[in-house]
Structures are given as C-alpha cells and as structure tokens.
Amino acid sequence: MIKSASIIGEIKSSSLKLKNKKDLVLLRSKYLGKKSLLASAMADLAQLKGAQRAKLGRELNSLKESIEAVLASAQTRLEDLENQTQYQPFDISSPGKSLSSESRVGHLHPVSLVLKETYQIFTELGFAIVDSPEIESDWFNFEALNMPATHPAREMQDTFYIKNSNQKFLPRTHTSGMQVRFMLENKPPFKIIVPGKVFRSENEDATHSWSFNQVEGLVVGKGVSMANLKGALLQIVKRQLGKETEIRFRPSYFPYTEPSVELDAKYNGKWLELGGAGMVHPDVLKKGGIDTEQYSGFAFGWGVERIAVIKYNIDDLRQLWRPKIEFLEQF
C-alpha cells in the first residue's frame, strides 16, 4: 500500500533543501526513477484486476502529477537563485575602470571640440555666451528680422512648423532669432555669441544637412562699424582655422543687415561659405528698442559643422551626425 500524502510531504521538504540542479536530478530519480517506490507500485499494478486496478492506477497517476509539480516549482526556485547570483546589483556611481588598452574611453564630438575652442576665443575677447530657445516664434525668427510672411528670403530657410501652433512656432532656422530677443532684454553696449542647433527642410548634400549648429554673434555699441566687423571676423576665423587659411568677404543680402557680406574660406582648392554677416539693419535695432541715433551694431552667423569640416579635413559634413564610431574615433 503506497501512502501518497506522506510521500508528497517528504518530497516537498526535501525540495526546499536543494542547492543546485544536480541535487534536483537526484531528487527526481529518487521519486520518479526506475528504482523509485512509484515505479515498483506501477509495475505491481499488472497483477491486480478490474476495479481495484483502475482505482490504484488513478491514485498512482495523481501522485506522479503531484511529484512533478513539486519538482517543477523547485526548478523555478533554483533558476531564480542562479539568475540572482549571475546579475549581481552594482553601484553605478562607483569609479570606472582605469585607463588601459582594453577600456574604451569616450571623448568630445568634433562639433563640441570646435565649440569649446570658439567659447575660449570669444570669452578672451570679452564676449558673453548666451543660451537660447530651439523652438522659436515666427516673429523673432522671421518678422522681427524684416522677413514678413510673404518675403522671398523665407524660401531659403524653408522649415517645419509646430503642429497646432497656427504656424506661430517653429524649430528655429537660424540663431539670428536671438538678436531682437536679446536686445529687448538688455541695454547696449553688449557683445554676445549665441551657439545652437538650427533646423531646415533642406536638400542634403556634402555641405548641407537638415539640422546643424550655428554661432551667432551680436555686437551693439557706440560707433560700431563695418571695419570692426571685418577685423573681428578675420581674427576669430583665422584663430579657429589657422593663419594660413585663405578667407574672403563677398557682398551679399540679408533683410536684417545692411550692408551684408558672406564669409568664405578656401578648402581643398574651392571656396566654402562659412557664414553671413553685416551691420544690423536700423529697423531691427528699433524693433529691439535700441536708439539708432546713439548705437550701431554688427551681427554674424556661421555654421559650426563647416568649421569642423575644414579643421579636421572631413569630406562630407553629414558624417558628423551619423552614428559611426570608427569615424568619430579619429578625432
């Protein structure tokens, strides 16, 4: 006669003491193996007949199912235990590995390297670095800069608009939106640079991407002239790109500067446009609440990726923002 209840009690208490999967295999063979009590009771079934045989058969099957259930839950418990030892919690604030040939240590992105140097040069020259919003109002980005809704100059800065804003807000197309924003909140004289990301609906190529960085410059004071603008830009750009870099100014047009110029640098035998600049248009100064009888100013805005292209001899500016570690590791 087999005592199911005591067998189940026995295996349950043994299963709680298991330490690893090897113990589990031994326990399984003790209760379900060829030499187990259950196996010999099953073999004895053959000698019984009729209803007695059917009754005992049912009892043995139910015992087998109970044993299997105990073994399955023991297996789950052991697997959980194994995972816990495998994935030990660790302190993410503890110091990293020391420098060695195997450890990969990150470094600044080439655009960040260029910006770091830009900040150094401009702060030495007494400029303040001003933060600015990436989502700008249509008014600061365009209207305040003499580009009303129908102005053809908007075409060159075709862009995305913020949904449900009735075309009032946009990811800024240039950092120039900061000019009037800053003038309204500060009294001249001031010298600032405004670095930041800008966005355009652009046909991409080796020198154009849909999102890039600009550095805006704005200087307002008494007697600020075009000669100051030229001198400052020549000095700053040469410091960033090296004295030997050939640079030229070319007449241009921006609705918010008068006169306007474009600044190019020679790269691989060709002229590459770095940025636009000019004397701040009196209408723009007025919109910023500045007395044009007393003050004048110049502004410029250049592309940071273009500086990186020349400085690091990169053949396609789009590579800078592709997640390719082999490319970025070169800098």
Instruction: Give residues in contact with ligand FA5 (CB under 6 A).
Output: 174, 176, 200, 202, 208-209, 212, 214, 254, 257, 273-278, 299-303, 305-306, 317
Collapsing DSSP to helix, strand or coil, 319 comes out as: helix
Sheet containing 128-129: give its strands across. 128-129, 190-199, 211-221, 296-303, 270-280, 257-267, 247-254
Nearer residue to ligand FA5 within complex by CB, 15 or 213: 213
- State the nearest-atom distance from the C-beta of 286 to ligand FA5, in Å: 17
- State the nearest-atom distance from the C-beta of 302 to ligand FA5, in Å: 5
Nearer residue to ligand FA5 within complex by CB, 15 or 214: 214
CA separation for the pair 47, 39 (Å, rounded): 14
Nearer residue to ligand FA5 within complex by CB, 140 or 302: 302
| Residues with Cβ within 8 Å of residue 38, at least 6 apart in sequence | 2, 7, 31, 32, 60, 63, 64, 67
- State the nearest-atom distance from the C-beta of 169 to ligand FA5, in Å: 18
Nearer residue to ligand FA5 within complex by CB, 81 or 135: 135
Nearer residue to ligand FA5 within complex by CB, 31 or 142: 142
CA separation for the pair 203, 116 (Å, rounded): 29
Nearest to 267 by CA among 298, 236, 305: 305
Nearest to 195 by CA among 177, 211, 220, 216: 216
Nearest to 318 by CA among 195, 211, 160: 211
Nearer residue to ligand FA5 within complex by CB, 55 or 322: 322
In a 10 Å sphere around its CB, with 0-12 CB exposed, 13-18 middle and 19+ buried, how is residue 51 labelled? exposed
Nearer residue to ligand FA5 within complex by CB, 117 or 202: 202
- State the nearest-atom distance from the C-beta of 240 to ligand FA5, in Å: 13
- State the nearest-atom distance from the C-beta of 198 to ligand FA5, in Å: 7
Nearest to 306 by CA among 282, 280, 271: 271
Looking at beta carbons, which residue is closest to ligand FA5?
A: 303
- State the nearest-atom distance from the C-beta of 221 to ligand FA5, in Å: 16
CA separation for the pair 78, 74 (Å, rounded): 6
- State the nearest-atom distance from the C-beta of 128 to ligand FA5, in Å: 17
- State the nearest-atom distance from the C-beta of 205 to ligand FA5, in Å: 9
Nearer residue to ligand FA5 within complex by CB, 74 or 299: 299
Answer yes or no: are the C-beta atoms of 276 and 300 closer than 8 Å.
yes
